[in-house]
Amino acid sequence: MITVDDVINWTLTEDQENHVRAHREQIVKTLEAVPPGDPKMRLLDMGSYLQMAPVCQFHLGYGEVLACIKGKGRRSAVVYSRDGKEFRCGVDNFDAEREPFPYENEFFDTVLCSEVLPFMQFDPMWMMYEINRITKMDGTLVLTSPNPNSIKAVWKVLNGFHPGTFPHYVISGDPRLTREYAAHELKDLIHVSGFGLVQLIGCNYVEPFNETDLKLIEFMKKNWFPETNREECLIIVAKKTHKPQDRYPKWLYY
């Protein structure tokens, strides 16, 4: 069983620890959704800050874990846990929605794409096609995104607030969250990207539903609103089953 402390063990700064604590439920649920590996298996951690990657090696058993993030070039990273473990991995820096991924076809058994998709600004299907290419047939994709249909988003709309999970502009110039994906959109996205759905998991980022959330959920049920995932985050677990089918889905591109 993976715990939030297993991830915090690999944080190097107070800001990193605070980020993990502010997303603890989502991070733990995502790692629990990653299938166990073995010493012969490879995993790619996309958008990595090198906190989930070592957990995939030390707790899930993957023999080789690589990481990637937006940027240029490749570097070798070494990080140390608070209890003295050493984790080494290659970190590739490239633009996931514009550049070819620097990996061979069917190189990875598992791709972890946590909170990367919603930051795509130009061409998310490029990323999905490349993920398909580098994933082995029957390999696993674990992908997460904020849920625009969450009960907290519904509450915000009803009370006159912006419904987005994080609609802010980032002063530092880091990419801002561009688009959130509803459950039915994620299901279609992975299908046209060459994957078959294994599981769709809903979870909140920090805490379970509070009393206000539960009352609003009950109100919506009583008034015949469609039932759908109302958690803040959606986690997709999928298997590569075929080649991508639609480069520009009409619901996603104009």
Widest pairwise Cα distance in the chain: 55
pLDDT of residue 244: 97
Query: Which of 186, 74, 184, 57 lies closest to 110, judged by CA?
Result: 57
pLDDT of residue 173: 82
Q: In the 8-state DSSP scheme, what is residue 48? A: -
- Cβ(51)–Cβ(22) under 8 Å? no
Domains, the chain, with CATH or none: 4-240 (3.40.50.150)
pTM for the whole structure: 0.95
Length of the chain: 254
Element at 69 (helix H, strand E): strand 64-69
Element at 42 (helix H, strand E): strand 42-46
φ, ψ (nearest 5 deg) of residue 108: -110, 145
pLDDT of residue 31: 98
Contacts of 242 (CB under 8 A, 6+ apart): 194, 196
The parts of the chain modelled with pLDDT lower than 70 are none
pLDDT of residue 172: 86
- Cα torsion 33, 85, 8, 40 to 10°: value is -10
Burial of 152 (0-12, 13-18, 19+ CB in 10 A): buried
Distance CA 15, CA 19 (A): 6
pLDDT of residue 242: 96
Distance CA 68, CA 108 (A): 13
